[in-house]
Amino acid sequence: MMKNLSSTSRFKGSKIAITGANGSLSKSLIKELKRKGAHVVGLTHNKTNNSNSGESTPDDWIVWSCGKEKLLSRSLVNIDILILNHGFNPKEMIGSNEINQAIEINSLSHWRLIEIFEDLALSNNNSKEVWINTSEAEFQIAFSPVYEITKRLIGELVSLKKSKLLLEKTNYFIIKKLILGPFKSRLNPQGIMKPEFVAKKIVQKAEKDDYLIIVTPNPITYLLMPIIESFRRLYTLLIKRIYSK
């Protein structure tokens, strides 16, 4: 039987895994989700901080690395919600090394994990949910050209996946896209919003069935992002109809 994640206390008793678990936003999300009664698993590349304890510390840790996502399959089998929040911001650097690293971390590893998680939902007949932090950089400047390009890539891939699921009327795999404005973190020390505030808003909005979870002081994002998603969905539908004739 597929597990129902849509009840009022939807996070209570849920097993939630989050990547980038040592980051500012992830720590705030961990605290908020644990407060809601979830069992949180932290996925991290960094082993050094895993011995700490507290409200912002996951109940369990898993060490992983980009490019080896398949090794996580067994660990993700019993996970209900996967939050993809790892990232790399090369800022002004536009060399080949930075570009390759950003594509791998911000785009390809996210996509592989989405595909693996979807396959697990299908093969185990157990509904799963994934949240992907694409940020406002998906469609506007972030003063980091490579970061913007890689966020745009994963953002459009997620939109394509969402369109496919809607066309197939699939209910076993739920996608939520996090469109976040600038919050203070190691990636963005100049961020305007506090990560604690952003995390609370994300969890509040995620209680609903909405696909887009937008948290930003920029009102234009609330207007433009749904329009962009609608155009992407219509484009996918149009292409499908053209090639099905």
Tens of pLDDT along 194-233? 999 999 999 999 998 899 999 999 999 999 999 999 999 9
Per-residue pLDDT at 2: 43
The answer to whether position 210 is within a domain reads yes
Per-residue pLDDT at 240: 86
- Structural domain that includes position 82: 15-244
Q: How far is CA 28 from the centre of its chain?
A: 15
Of 78, 148, 79, give the one whose Cα is nearest residue 107: 148
pLDDT tens per residue, range 129-157: 999 999 999 998 888 899 999 999 999 99
Query: What is the three-class DSSP state of 1?
Result: coil
Residue 5 has pLDDT above 80, yes or no: no
Active-site residue set = 147
| CB atoms inside a 10 Å sphere around CB 28 | 23
The answer to whether position 78 is within a domain reads yes
What's the first-to-final CA gap in the chain, in angstroms?
A: 37
Distances (CA, A) of 160 to 26, 47, 233: 26, 34, 7
Of 46, 69, 56, 48, give the one whose Cα is nearest residue 26: 56
The answer to whether position 5 is within a domain reads no
The answer to whether position 20 is within a domain reads yes
Q: What is the count of structural domains for the chain?
A: 1
Of 84, 36, 93, give the one whose Cα is nearest residue 64: 84
Distances (CA, A) of 37 to 9, 16, 57, 212: 9, 11, 14, 23
- Write out the two tokens for 212: 């887009």
Q: Looking at residue 216, which CATH number applies to its domain? A: 3.40.50.720
